[in-house]
Structure 1
Amino acid sequence: MKPLDQFKRTPLRRYDKAPPPPPEEKRTLEPAIRKRYFGVPSFERMHAGRWLGGAICAAMLLTLCNASAPMGDVPTVQQRFTQWAVIQNEKTVQRLPGPTPEPDSALAAAASFNPDQEKLEVKQEAKQETLTAQAETRQETTQTQTTADTSTGFKHYEPGQLHYESDNIAVSIEQKTKDSMTYFVCDIQLSSADQFRTAFAGDDFKSGIYEAVSDIAGRYNPVLAINADFCRYHRDGVIIRNGEVLRRQNIQKHHLLIVDKDGNLSAQTDRSGKQGLVANKLEQAQTWQTFEFGPVLVEDGKAATLPSSFYVNCHDGYYEPRTAIGQIGPLHYIVIVVDGRREGYSTGASIPQLQQLFLDEGAEFAFNLDGGGSTTLYFRGEVINMPSGGKERSVSDIIMFTN
């Protein structure tokens, strides 16, 4: 076995160039020998490399020119950018249903887009819609708005101007003048006794506050509303509202208006019964409403006998604003509101005059309610009569006919 040193690697010889001559012989070699060992001189090699590189570049350029289109057909930078923009527009613009726009028109629309202009157009469109809605509202409310007499400033309504009708209710109001009084005759037809409703100031019988008729009615949106009997002013009486018994004390100085479960009106004038007995009987009969005031004006289609001494002055010649309610037939009611205490417009009505107005309108039953400064007639969002105090009096309760 050979020793390990015999396996030492022999350095590889490089044959890529001639081995350098011995140093001592380098200066004595002839040019021919130097050319043999080192090739051409360095300056000759430099010029030869330049010429060879130029030839290679020229050949490559000719090859590219032959393989491509003529120079005259090469698109400019602007043309290539335009082509790119068209391609990007076709990729990014989503086509909406309807006629397909041409690419040029789509580009023109995109180029002319102005966000500020669009916001302005949206605002103008919204403003126009608001103005249109307001105009429609004004047009609707003109059905109930007044026509002022320029000479007096008093309210005046044309026949047929105050009218409302739906599937559940029909209300027709006519303003009339007789002698020295101006009054409103309201013809009301309902489809259910539940539409004959009442409400309190503060929405509660025990709230202890008073409000204008329009403020109370504004929370319930009835078709028509009037002041009721000012029940909170009295500390006694039988009070039943919307089927609920709120007070049971019997009282002799008033007449009692009764609205039964079917919406029929009647009255109790003899108040000599025992305390609580009247309220108990009415509760058992499922009475819907009661009102403490009076007097009774009409019964069975005839003039009722007016009391000589009563809570209200019933003598002829005593004129006041009046509010009264009557019935013509089943769920068919009549409300008469007389303005008063306004010289040149209306002095008011006496109780005998008010009685005669109901007889003239064909009422089968009629009952006087609170009047004077409380007299208020509310129709479709506004007070249409002229309260005697120049503004509405705050009251405790109202009667309303709902839709």
Structure 2
Amino acid sequence: MQRLRLPKGRIARIVVGAVTALVLTAGGGTAWALDRYVVDHVQIADAAAYEAAQSSGGADSPGDGTVNNSSYTSADATVTVSEHTTGSGTATVTYYVADVQLGDATRLRSAFANNEFGTNIVENTSAIAADNNAVFAINGDYYGFRDTGIVIRNGVVYRDTGARQGLAFYRDGTVKVYDETATTAKQLLAGGVWNTLSFGPALLQDGQLVAGIDSVEVDTNVGNHSIQGAQPRTAVGVVDTNHLVFVVVDGRSPGYSAGLTMTGLAQLMQQLGAKTAYNLDGGGSSTMVFNGRLVNNPLGKGNERGTSDILYVER
């Protein structure tokens, strides 16, 4: 199944280039670019049904919880969200922290845009969160922008093409950075992996900053913004078993929030008590949603950009 949608954000830049190419030449390159970066390629049209059919078991129905403006508490999950500002003038940085403690690691779930798995399929984080009754959500790894990486979501394998440094969430509450090229999705699943993310790089390991992170380029695809320099960021950190910290940093908005370098993000995660930390998709995709509300201010404009997937805690 394929659909053509009006693009926005990073995809819009690709379309501009494609249209320019169309004007200059009617060659096959334009058709390839549109097919690769714009046209939806739906491989699984109902991810929820696919997971239900494939999974040997997952989380039970969540219990009732209570929500106020900054926290959520239920029998198996506690989420506390806070806003922070450091620096001044053009060096001001505004970021948001969600401290998440789980009674059951499988309460941290993943969901796809439009409940579909494939490439170029996007939906706003808040919309995906609403579709999945999420009390808390952040953007994921934008798996749909690439066709490589190991993608295991909610205990089900969707893709098994190891390419980079990944992050694995286990059913027992542990979280580990791993080399995708040294294993398989089947092996990870057999070892108890519940979710994987494929972006990076790792920011902290054993509580220490990982060397060389400011020179890493995750993707070099056409239209993809460099992750170097001070940027809007999304990251996940591991404080302890079943104790996670999620951070969204706004950026590219001088006077409101300049963003952070990769090293600055790692230092922030370290200050928050994380022993392991991992970088996720950033830029205009960096979004945090709590209790049905967009918490941060993407690019200082308050507008979300569609993404392919989220991590969330179900209400």
**TM-score for both structures, normalised by structure 2:** 0.71
CA contact (8 A) 1:201 1:207 kept: no
**Structure 1 pair 204–272 and aligned structure 2 pair: CA distance change class (3 A):** closer
Q: For residues 214 and 287 of structure 2, what CA distance do their matches in structure 1 show?
A: 27
| 1:342 positional shift | 1.5
Q: Give the aligned partner of residue 333 of structure 1.
A: 244
Counterpart secondary structure, 1:283: helix
Q: Give the aligned partner of residue 76 of structure 2.
A: 168
**Structure 1 pair 209–288 and aligned structure 2 pair: CA distance change class (3 A):** same
| 1:387 positional shift | 1.0
Letter in 1 for 2:100: I
Q: For residues 234 and 281 of structure 1, what CA distance do their matches in structure 2 show?
A: 22
Mapped pair 1:232 → 2:144: yes
**Structure 1 pair 207–360 and aligned structure 2 pair: CA distance change class (3 A):** closer
| 1:309 positional shift | 4.3
**Structure 1 pair 348–170 and aligned structure 2 pair: CA distance change class (3 A):** same
Q: Give the aligned partner of residue 294 of structure 2.
A: 383
Moved more, 259-268 or 371-380: 259-268
Q: For residues 241 and 402 of structure 1, what CA distance do their matches in structure 2 show?
A: 15
| 1:287 positional shift | 1.2
Q: Give the aligned partner of residue 197 of structure 2.
A: 291
| 1:278 positional shift | 2.2
Match of 1:345 among 256, 262, 266: 256
Q: For residues 101 and 235 of structure 2, what CA distance do their matches in structure 1 show?
A: 16
CA contact (8 A) 1:221 1:380 kept: no
CA contact (8 A) 2:296 2:302 kept: no
Q: For residues 240 and 401 of structure 1, what CA distance do their matches in structure 2 show?
A: 17
CA contact (8 A) 1:297 1:306 kept: no
Cα-to-partner distance string for 1:332-357 (whole Å, 9 max, x where unaligned): 11011101111221011110110000
Q: Give the aligned partner of residue 51 of structure 2.
A: none
**In angstroms, what is the RMSD of aligned CA positions?**
2.0
Cα-to-partner distance string for 1:64-99 (whole Å, 9 max, x where unaligned): xxxxxxxxxxxxxxxxxxxxxxxxxxxxxxxxxxxx
**Structure 1 pair 307–377 and aligned structure 2 pair: CA distance change class (3 A):** closer
**Structure 1 pair 342–208 and aligned structure 2 pair: CA distance change class (3 A):** closer
Q: Give the aligned partner of residue 176 of structure 2.
A: 266
Return the structure number with greater strand share: 2
Return the structure number with greater helix share: 1
Cα-to-partner distance string for 1:270-328 (whole Å, 9 max, x where unaligned): x543xxx422321221310111111111111222223464225676xx11100000111
Counterpart secondary structure, 1:214: helix
CA contact (8 A) 1:296 1:306 kept: no
Q: For residues 161 and 314 of structure 2, what CA distance do their matches in structure 1 show?
A: 29
Q: For residues 307 and 400 of structure 1, what CA distance do their matches in structure 2 show?
A: 26
**Structure 1 pair 336–208 and aligned structure 2 pair: CA distance change class (3 A):** closer
| 1:167 positional shift | 2.2
Percent identity over paired residues: 37
Letter in 1 for 2:311: I
Match of 1:247 among 151, 159, 164: 159
Q: For residues 252 and 215 of structure 2, what CA distance do their matches in structure 1 show?
A: 24
Moved more, 347-356 or 162-171: 162-171
Q: For residues 232 and 120 of structure 2, what CA distance do their matches in structure 1 show?
A: 25
Cα-to-partner distance string for 1:218-267 (whole Å, 9 max, x where unaligned): 0122121000000011111111000111111111xx32111112131111
Q: How does 1:29-108 map to 2 (within 5 A)?
A: none
Letter in 1 for 2:277: A
Q: Give the aligned partner of residue 319 of structure 1.
A: 230
Mapped pair 1:215 → 2:123: no
**Structure 1 pair 307–345 and aligned structure 2 pair: CA distance change class (3 A):** closer
**TM-score for both structures, normalised by structure 1:** 0.56
Match of 1:257 among 167, 170, 177: 167
Unaligned regions of 5+ residues in structure 2, if any?
1-65, 219-225
Considering Cα pairs closer than 8 Å and 6+ residues apart, tell me whether 1 or 2 has the greater RCO. 2
Letter in 2 for 1:353: G
| 1:169 positional shift | 1.5
